[in-house]
Amino acid sequence: MPKTYLNADLHSHSVVSDGTLTPEQLAQRAASKGVELWALTDHDEVGGQHRAAAAAHACGMDYLTGVEISVTFAGATVHIVGLGFDADDAQLSQGLYDTRNGREPRAREMAQQLEAAGIPGSFEGALRFAGNPELISRTHFARFLVETGVCSDTYEVFRKYLTEGRPGYVPHTWSRLRDAVRWIVDAGGVAVIAHPARYNFTANEEYALFTEFKHHGGTGVEVVTGSHRPHEYAIYADMAKEFGLAASRGSDFHSPEESHTDLGDLPPLPSQLTPVWELLHERIQRAQ
């Protein structure tokens, strides 16, 4: 029988992508917050998976492999979380490498725009915050602009510089939805739509996302996550039921200084939903 978890956190980031803690530090923090089942879901990268699993087990937590893949859908960036896959799968690793490959040219263009706006040296500055240079992102630029006093916090940076229509925003074409889902599923995992309320889609666009996602083999959606408000838990619980999707739960934790929600601090999933970890009980790496 699948184990019942009262506190599962299946969405978090380390220095391997755009978090500020190592996989080991994240594991210790999650365990201290009462997390029983944890997943590290770095952006477009699985390089921290073996470290994360070992650290989770050392802290007494069960572990699921994880990743968050950047996808372009309806002209917007959507994130698909993969859980419970083989972290050494060659096709997945190649797909993630190809997805990461466009980040440096994008970052250099962002730096050029920021320099034109009177902020020099941002590429080199952002690179210092990137634990993995292949995954340089807007978050690393934001940290540089805070460090240099241009803005008081990362939220102000995004508002003034790194969102559409602002100097420093550069759109990027990521993976296709069908490819991201296929990489995860073919590697033995489950694909999950991450934080769906963040995308600001119209009702028709959102319906299309869920429909196409399920058509390609996706089977889960984040219902309770750090960027969802309480009324959105109910909205996406209903969407999970409508599309026959399992429900996931994850803080989307990046940093003690920046994240709204700490590891393990979310409310339980709404009742009458199938927790995604029940689909993955044979893929969970047990702590002993």
Q: What is the DSSP string of 31-64?
A: HHTT-SEE----BT--TTHHHHHHHHHHTT-EE-
Mean pLDDT, range 242-255, rounded to an integer: 97
- Work out the mean pLDDT of the chain and round it to a whole number: 95
Can you name the residues that pair with 79 across neighbouring β-strands? Answer: 70
* 287 vs 4: which has the higher pLDDT: 287
Q: Give the pLDDT confidence score for residue 34 in this predicted structure.
A: 97
Burial status of residue 200 (CB atoms within 10 A of its CB: 0-12, 13-18, 19 or more)? exposed
pLDDT tens digit sequence for 124-158: 999 999 988 888 999 999 999 999 999 999 999 99
Mean pLDDT, range 226-253, rounded to an integer: 97
Q: Give the pLDDT confidence score for residue 145 in this predicted structure.
A: 97
Q: Give the pLDDT confidence score for residue 103 in this predicted structure.
A: 87
Contact 210, 182 (CB under 8 A): no
pLDDT tens digit sequence for 6-28: 999 999 999 999 999 999 999 99
Q: Give the pLDDT confidence score for residue 258 in this predicted structure.
A: 86
Cβ within 8 Å of residue 63, ≥6 positions away: 37, 38, 39, 52, 53, 56, 57, 284, 285, 287
Q: Give the pLDDT confidence score for residue 151 in this predicted structure.
A: 96
Q: Give the pLDDT confidence score for residue 171 in this predicted structure.
A: 84
Percent of the chain past pLDDT 70, that is, above it, reads 99
Q: Give the pLDDT confidence score for residue 1 in this predicted structure.
A: 61
Q: Give the pLDDT confidence score for residue 173 in this predicted structure.
A: 83
Q: Give the pLDDT confidence score for residue 131 in this predicted structure.
A: 83
Banded pLDDT at 32 (limits 50, 70, 90): very high
Contact 170, 113 (CB under 8 A): yes
Q: Give the pLDDT confidence score for residue 134 in this predicted structure.
A: 85
pLDDT tens digit sequence for 44-94: 999 999 999 999 999 999 999 999 999 999 999 999 999 999 999 999 999
